[in-house]
Amino acid sequence: MLGVFAEFETNLRRERQLEGIAAAKARGAYRGRKPSVDPVEVQRLRVEAKLGATEIARRLGVGRASVYRALARHERPA
């Protein structure tokens, strides 16, 4: 019986959360996280300075995965 109440409360909370997110999106306040790396700068370092992903990541203070993601986005524009 307690499980039923817990599930009911979880569903109510989920509905309230989705309503809040929808309202925030309507206001333009729900845009997600800002990019941690500038893809143009990553590409510049890759092409002009001929640096690898590890060195680019060190210089920009980000992880290598962020560098690879930025390079992949540059190769196939959104």
Average pLDDT for residues 54-73, to the nearest whole number? 94
- Summarised one tens digit per residue, pLDDT across range 8-31 is 999 999 999 999 999 999 998 888
- Summarised one tens digit per residue, pLDDT across range 26-63 is 998 888 788 888 999 999 999 999 999 999 999 999 99
Collapsed DSSP state (helix, strand, coil) of residue 31:
coil
**Cβ(41)–Cβ(71) below 8 Å:** no
Give the phi and the psi of residue 16 in degrees, each rounded to 5. -65, -40
**Cβ(60)–Cβ(37) below 8 Å:** yes
Band of pLDDT at residue 70, cut at 50, 70 and 90:
very high
Collapsed DSSP state (helix, strand, coil) of residue 63:
coil
What's the DSSP call for residue 28?
A: T
